[in-house]
């Protein structure tokens, strides 16, 4: 009966996007690091169950935080995954590879092939709120023990377009480099003041599915969509430009080949 109750609880939590919070092994300080010893994964009934440790993160101020895990034992043979949960057990992000991380639907099913890479560094970003607790679950899918250094470092996000909706950044010409660094991020630009004879080019090379949306007005339901393939269009009659992940489930880092993109407004004709 107890087993059935626990199974039913796990199913209900999964349906709500929640996960049970195991006890934390300790605290991971913001601006510091800890060294974690991860038990090996276990093969049971044809399934690979990871060795897990959990650390609590308690931000003392509201700001962006980057988390990283680097294997010091297995190196390139490491098979790690990070999952960040808030204090209610809601998953905020999960690492996928060095250059990007994700949330739903990449969390379920928890298959290994899309999420595990032969890369020693696994990272994710989140917006930490002062006074709230976050839980970093570190999973080892290797069949050997691993010793991992965990970091939690504050950082300043790329400022381009990363403003509140009521204070959208003006973009009237030239080039801007922004980055999608958080799951669900919208970068917004006010292009109403741009000369109407200019063309917009959107350049992105990386693992995300980024799009640039041109809205004739803020409440228009049918924006023009640019992506890395169809990447140029006249700016007229747009007044608002939004860059985001197409499915709002992926994010990267402010570096080439990850979350960084380039926007250019110029008189150069589109192909």
138's tokens: 């570190």
Lowest-pLDDT range, 18-32, 61-75, 113-127, 146-160? 113-127
Q: What is the mean pLDDT of residues 61-85?
A: 92
pLDDT score of 158:
97
Q: Is the pLDDT of residue 107 over 80?
A: no
For the chain, which residues make up each domain, given as ranges?
2-154, 169-266
Predicted confidence (pLDDT) at residue 136 exceeds the cutoff of 50: yes
Segment among 14-23, 41-50, 63-72, 199-208 with least mean pLDDT: 14-23
Confirm whether 2-154 and 169-266 share one CATH topology.
yes
The model's pTM? 0.86
Q: Residue 23 above 90 pLDDT? A: no
Of 205 and 18, the one with more pLDDT: 205
Q: Does domain 169-266 have CATH number 1.10.3210?
A: no
Cis peptide before 237 (omega within 30 of 0): yes
CATH number of 2-154: 2.60.120.380
């Amino acid at each position: 009966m107890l087993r059935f109750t626990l199974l039913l609880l796990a199913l209900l939590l999964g349906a709500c996007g929640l996960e049970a919070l195991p006890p934390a092994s300790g605290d991971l300080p913001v601006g510091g690091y800890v060294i974690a010893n991860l038990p090996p994964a276990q093969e049971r009934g044809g399934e690979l169950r990871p060795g897990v440790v959990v650390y609590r993160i308690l931000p003392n101020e509201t700001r962006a935080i980057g988390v990283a895990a680097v294997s010091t034992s297995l190196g390139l043979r490491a098979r790690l995954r990070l999952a960040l949960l808030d204090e209610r057990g809601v998953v905020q992000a999960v690492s996928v590879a060095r250059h990007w991380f994700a949330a739903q639907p990449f969390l379920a099913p928890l298959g290994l092939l899309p999420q595990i890479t032969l890369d020693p560094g696994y990272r994710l970003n989140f917006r930490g709120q002062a006074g709230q607790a976050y839980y970093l679950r570190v999973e080892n899918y290797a069949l050997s023990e691993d010793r991992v250094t965990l970091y939690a470092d504050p950082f300043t996000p790329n400022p381009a377009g990363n403003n509140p909706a009521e204070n959208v950044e003006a973009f009237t010409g030239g080039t801007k480099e922004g980055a999608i660094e958080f799951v669900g991020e919208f970068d917004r630009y006010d292009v109403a003041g741009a000369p109407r004879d200019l063309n917009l080019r959107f350049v992105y090379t990386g693992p995300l599915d980024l799009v640039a949306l041109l809205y004739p007005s803020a409440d228009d339901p049918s924006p023009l969509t640019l992506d890395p393939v169809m990447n140029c269009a006249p700016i007229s009659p747009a007044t608002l430009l939004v860059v985001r992940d197409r499915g709002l489930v992926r994010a990267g880092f402010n570096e080439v080949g990850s979350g960084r993109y380039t926007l250019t407004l110029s008189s150069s004709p589109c192909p």
